[in-house]
Amino acid sequence: MQLSHRITHLTGGGSDGWDVFYRARRMKAEGVPVTELTIGEHDIGTHASILAAMNASAKGGHTGYAMVPGVASLRETVAKRIEEQTGVPTTADNVMITPGGQAALFAAHAATCNAGDTALYLDPYYATYPGTIRGVGAVAKAVQTHAEDAFQPRAADIDAAAEGAVSLLINSPNNPTGVVYSRQTLDGIAEVCKARDLWLISDEVYDTQVWEGEHISPRALPGMAERTLVVGSMSKSHAMTGSRCGWIVGPTEVITHLINLATHTTYGVPGFIQDAADFALNAGDELEAEVAAPFRRRRLLAKDILAGQNTISLVPAQGAMYLMLDVRATGMSGEDFANALLDAHHIAVMPGESFGQAAAGHIRVAMTIADEEFAKALQTLCAFATERANTVAAQ
């Protein structure tokens, strides 16, 4: 019996740069005290008030099938939030609640790509992007961004890749680079999307983690609301990664079709989770600021530490919970550096190569451990890089 090509070719196969991560996990399981600066998981849990709301909802009986498009009140809350962010009139009919941002990314591509169509995404990229595109039977085509542009995408590069493509996936604030796209970048992207008749799938799951500049949703840009699908999530903004609650926002016609898709795939999101999300979104900015605060603090700590050395340079860390560090002065690839650091100091980071070709020679550091431990790990990392760079210089 056969397995479908779609499922067996979902990932690219071969080494995907996650070897360091799995090796660190194995070392940990064997009792080695590994400091993990790898995945995007908060070191705090979901806030007690959100859990209380979840509990009250479940105990109150909201444990049966929930409405497939989402609980009415949460859809309205999300619509209001997006309208406030973008100035574009948005109603519950523009919103579908999904099991996390990941399901929304899949739904967005299912809505826009036929089998064999080309869908664009930007390199470096969040690990699931190409597989998500392949998962709907489309062809994933990467457009490189460049370290020398601080990974702000070039409209001309997207335009050059756009012939025959149907969609473009972007992510700002960005994982893995920590870069927030400027208005100029987004204006350029919007112009290409309009000229090339592309859908724009805008992953905004880090919209509450902006340290510098401002988060601009392309839904707000002239002529873009009708061709933009916004992906959002409770995972990062409210430390609710395990609750699996996100959304997709777009034209009502798209949402109507996506409700059909959800009926035949997920059949919705648990009602008590949605009620907790609704509570959390209505709890106001302070709660979001509290969840974001550790990353805001650690980014400043990191900037101070990195200012004390000349080997590693920091890609402008404007948002999200990661730092992208350029380690090319060590003469090593990101993957070699990450492996050597793990061996020498039991510190695990992600090689830039895990996120595509554009971030080769870089590493991604997640700011997801306690401040003191984080600062110590970063100091060790810098000293290690300097030692390596000096060895290369002496050769």
Ligand X SMILES: Cc1ncc(COP(=O)(O)O)c(C=O)c1O
By the criterion CB under 6 A, which residues form the site for ligand X?
40, 100-102, 126, 171, 175, 203, 205, 233, 235, 241, 246
77 versus 241: smaller Cβ distance to ligand X:
241
At its nearest, how many Å lie between ligand X and the CB of residue 241? 5
Angle at 85 between CA 82 and CA 87, to 5 degrees: 90
Q: What is the dihedral of CA 15, 19, 21, 22, to 10 degrees?
A: 120
Q: Which of 127, 132, 128, 123 is nearest to 153 (CA)?
A: 123
41 versus 191: smaller Cβ distance to ligand X:
41
Contact predicate 367/374, CB 8 Å: yes
**Which sign, positive or negative, has the C-alpha torsion 228, 292, 280, 86?**
negative
At its nearest, how many Å lie between ligand X and the CB of residue 325? 18
What gap in Å lies between CA 176 and CA 66, rounded to an integer? 34
Angle at 342 between CA 337 and CA 344, to 5 degrees: 90
100 versus 361: smaller Cβ distance to ligand X:
100
240 versus 382: smaller Cβ distance to ligand X:
240
At its nearest, how many Å lie between ligand X and the CB of residue 313? 23
Which amino acid is present at 140?
A
What gap in Å lies between CA 238 and CA 138, rounded to an integer? 32
The length of the chain in residues reads 395
C-alpha distances in Å from residue 258, one per residue of 103, 107, 204, 249, 326: 11, 7, 19, 11, 40
At its nearest, how many Å lie between ligand X and the CB of residue 102? 3
At its nearest, how many Å lie between ligand X and the CB of residue 340? 26
At its nearest, how many Å lie between ligand X and the CB of residue 269? 11
24 versus 205: smaller Cβ distance to ligand X:
205
262 versus 305: smaller Cβ distance to ligand X:
262
Which tokens sit at 4?
Answer: 């479908």
40 versus 270: smaller Cβ distance to ligand X:
40
Contact predicate 363/327, CB 8 Å: yes
At its nearest, how many Å lie between ligand X and the CB of residue 73? 20
